[in-house]
Amino acid sequence: MFIFIAGFLLMFTLLSYSDWKYEDELVHNLAIEVKERCVGKDLNCIVDTAMFYTHMIQDPMMTLFSDKEFTSPKLALTRSSFSNFYFGKGACGAYASFFTRLMMHMDYKTKFVILNVGKKEGGHIATVIEQDHHLLLVDPLSGHIFRDTNGAMVEIDTVAKYWNSYYKHHLPQRYVPAYNYQHGWKYTNWDKLGFLSKAFYNTSVFFIGKNRTDNISLHYYIVKLNKSIVFVTSALFIVSIMIALRLFRPEVNSLLEYMANRKN
C-alpha cells in the first residue's frame, strides 16, 4: 500500500514540478521583457506593458478554444493563471490570475477584487495593485487601466465614488458596463469553500479584527505558495518510502543480502 502511495506521490511530484517550472520560467522571462521595456521602472509603463503581454498570450487561445471541449485531467489540475494559456478557458479569473502572477514576478503586491454585479456576488474579478498604501484598480479581462484626467492610475474607492460622473464615460468597447463598482466588492471569496472558509474567516476576525480580515486577499498568497505543492508532495514521498522501508525491513534486508550474494 505504501509503495503504491509512494509511486503516486513521485509521479505527482514530477508532473507538478514540470508544470510549475515551465510556467514560472515563462512568467519570469516575460517579467524580464516588461522591465527591459520600462527602463525607468515607471509604474504606468510596467502596468501597460504587463497588460499588453497578458492579452497577447491569452487572447489567441481564448479565441480558438473557448468553445471547445477538453476532457484531459490537466484541465482540472492546471492553475487558473494558465487555464487560458493551455485551454482558452477561465475568463476574468484567468486573466486576473495571469496578470497578478506577472506583477508578482516584478515584486508588486496585488489583490483580487471580487466584484458584486447588481445583486450577484462575485460576478466579476478585477485586480488592484498595492502602491504606497494605495489600491490602484485595473481590469485584466478588458485590459482597462483606470486613470484620472491627468492619466494617473487611481484607487478603487475613487472609481466607485466617481463612476457615474466620470469613469463610466471612459471605458473600452469590450468593458461590460455592469461592472460598475456600485454594489460593493471583497478581496477574498469567503464563501467559496462553505463551512471551512467561513470558519477560517470567523477565526481571522476573532484574532485580527473584521477590517483587517476583509482586506486580506488570499489569492495573492495562494499564488506565492504554488511551488510549495512540489515540496510538500516531495516530503510526503520521502516519508512514505521511509515508512514502507520500516514496515518491510526484513524483506528489504533479504533482498539486499540476496543481491550481495549474487555479486560474490
Q: How many domains does the chain have?
A: 1
Task: Please tell me the distance from the alpha carbon of residue 83 to that of residue 23, in angstroms, as a whole number.
Answer: 11
CA dihedral 153, 157, 161, 164 (to 10 degrees): 60
Q: Distance between CA atoms of 44 and 22, rounded to whole angstroms?
A: 28
Cell 464615460, residue?
169
Domain extent at residue 193: 38-226
Burial grade of 97 (CB within 10 A; 0-12, 13-18, 19 or more): buried
Residue 140 lies in a domain: yes
Contact at 8 Å (CB) between 15 and 64? no
- Summarised one tens digit per residue, pLDDT across range 47-74 is 999 999 999 988 988 888 888 888 777 6
This prediction's pTM: 0.80
> Per residue in 123-162, pLDDT tens?
999 999 999 889 999 999 999 999 999 999 999 999 999 9
Predicted pLDDT at 37: 93
Question: Does residue 259 sit within a domain?
Answer: no
The rounded distance, in Å, linking the Cα atoms of 13 and 73 is: 15
C-alpha distance across the termini of the chain, in Å: 33
In a domain, 21, yes or no: no
Please report whether residue 2 resides in a domain: no
CA angle (156 as vertex; 204, 164 as ends), nearest 5: 135
For 27: left if phi > 0, alpha if psi spans -120 to 50, otherwise beta; the answer is alpha
Residue 25 lies in a domain: no
Residue 118 lies in a domain: yes
Say whether 248 sits in a helix, a strand or coil.
coil
- pLDDT by residue for the chain (264 residues), tens only, comes to 555 665 666 666 666 677 778 888 999 999 999 999 998 889 999 999 999 999 998 898 888 888 888 877 766 666 567 777 777 777 888 899 899 999 999 999 999 999 999 888 889 999 999 998 899 999 999 999 999 999 999 999 999 999 999 999 999 999 999 999 999 999 988 887 778 888 888 888 888 998 888 888 887 777 655 556 666 666 666 666 676 666 666 665 666 666 666 665
At residue 183, the pLDDT reads 93
Q: Is residue 20 part of a domain?
A: no
CA 220 to chain centre: 7
Give the pLDDT of residue 20.
Answer: 76
Contact of 110 with 68, CB cutoff 8 Å = no
DSSP helix/strand/coil, 260: helix
Q: Is residue 237 one of the residues assigned to a domain?
A: no
